[in-house]
Amino acid sequence: MSRVFTTTLRLNLDDEADRRAWEHLQQMDRRRYRSYSKAIVAAVNELFDEQPGQQETKEDFLNRIIAVIQASLQALPLQTPPAAEPNSDDLDAALDFADSF
């Protein structure tokens, strides 16, 4: 015997959050989610399966990425180019240039 629960989803398109949800549902990947029900089930489970207090905001996520990049950059050794010894041709060219004034 099939155990199917039917409910109604009501979205107020004058409400910003509801309208955005509707737009997401209209643009969802039909290969991944065959129906609105599948997409809503995935979203609800993703939201509520997270441990309380462990939900990470987008800003927290970006700050964590920035911190990892900064730490990686600080771990790199500073490389300064070796001082080039002027050769006689360069020195002669510089002196010829200075003499032209």
pTM: 0.46
Nearest to 21 by CA among 2, 39, 1: 39
Asked whether residue 75 carries a pLDDT value surpassing 80, the answer given is no
Give the pLDDT confidence score for residue 53 in this predicted structure: 61
The pLDDT-based confidence of 65 (bands split at 50, 70, 90) is: confident
Q: Give the model confidence (pLDDT) of 19-62 as tens digits.
A: 999 998 898 888 888 888 999 988 888 777 766 666 677 888 78
